[in-house]
Structure 1
Amino acid sequence: MTDSAKAPTHMWIVGIASLLWNAFGAFDYVMTKLNNPDYMAAFTPEQQQYFTSFPLWANIGWGLGIWGAVLGSVLLLARSRHAETAFLASLVGLALSSAYQFGLHYADLMRMFGIFPLAFTVVIWAIGIALYLYARRQVAAGVLR
């Protein structure tokens, strides 16, 4: 595919949908990191303490997961082959974040939130892997350059 070739419609659909999806994660991250009182009011004091007590490495993982995905979505829309790398970095960040939450604090999560964090993280993993594989396929097809 040449530089002047039109991008397939599915790429725009996936790119816009992924950007909207990842914008929700970015909003959650920013509101939590800023400790926004209106946003944090939805959580109990114990849940708020949990979110604000992540160690540095878990915060790095969370940030890499969120911002790598947002960047991947933007790069996908820009038709850049670097979208693949950004989505892969996002998966690395998600792995770090998941290791902290489910490897070290699974009992706390279940007690405070029930099954929701586990179920939602499975969805996040599925979407993250799908976006990475999609970007990889588009690089191989020459759509992303």
Structure 2
Amino acid sequence: MNTNAKPNTAFWIIAVAALLWNIIGVYFWLLEYFLMTDEIRATIPAEQVELMANAPAWSMYIYAIAVFGGLLGSLILLLRKRLAIGLFLISLIAVLLLQLYWIFAMDLVEVMGPQSLIMPLLVIAVAIFEYFYSKGAARNGWLV
């Protein structure tokens, strides 16, 4: 393993895309828990507002771990540090806990319809990709 290998252009594109994705995640966490106004709430389907209102208190913290773990992982990935792997793993575990809870325990599909699975499955897929990509980057010697 070459620990001084120079990452290719795709690495930088993926790392920046991961950073942007996770910034969006942090924004939505802030919006849901701190910035939600009645005007914004009025633009969201009533079923979704009810689901959000009925979510357990612990989900706020798991959501925070997921998005801030991903954000930190992305920043550390851009710095080419192996710590990104662990941060992405923590984020992935939190994503799985939260999204699977929403899908199965909160009856997401029953309340919102089958199209409501698109975003949770996309979030899970991206979290899995970020974790395994960071492991591959370390294997390629791009992370120290």
- Structure 1 letter corresponding to 2:112: F
- Once the two structures are TM-superposed, the CA of residue 114 in structure 1 deviates from its matched residue by 2.0
**Greater relative contact order: 1 or 2 (C-alpha under 8 angstroms, separation 6 or more)?**
2
Q: 1:13 and 1:102, CA in 2 relative to 1: closer, same or farther beyond 3 A?
A: same
- Structure 2 letter corresponding to 1:100: Y
Cα deviation 1:54-88 (Å, max 9, x = unaligned)? 22332222111111111111111111111111111
CA RMSD of aligned residues (A): 2.0
Mapped partners of 2:85, 2:116: distance in 1: 26
Matched, 1:140 2:132: no
Aligned to 1:39: 40
When structure 1 is superposed on structure 2, of 59-68 and 133-142 the one drifting more is: 59-68
Cα deviation 1:1-37 (Å, max 9, x = unaligned)? 455x543212110011111112222111110001421
- 3-state SS of 2:81 partner: coil
**Contact 1:75/1:82 (<8 A) preserved:** yes
Mapped partners of 1:116, 1:67: distance in 2: 26
Mapped partners of 2:112, 2:104: distance in 1: 16
The runs of 5 or more residues in structure 2 that have no matched partner are: none
| Percent of paired sites with the same residue | 29
Mapped partners of 2:100, 2:58: distance in 1: 10
- 3-state SS of 1:34 partner: helix
- Structure 1 letter corresponding to 2:122: V
Cα deviation 1:111-143 (Å, max 9, x = unaligned)? 443223312211111111111111001112221
**Count of aligned positions:** 142
Q: 1:6 and 1:141, CA in 2 relative to 1: closer, same or farther beyond 3 A?
A: closer
- Structure 2 letter corresponding to 1:58: S
**Contact 2:96/2:124 (<8 A) preserved:** no
The runs of 5 or more residues in structure 1 that have no matched partner are: none
- 3-state SS of 1:143 partner: coil
**Contact 1:31/1:39 (<8 A) preserved:** no
**Contact 1:81/1:139 (<8 A) preserved:** yes
Mapped partners of 1:57, 1:6: distance in 2: 41
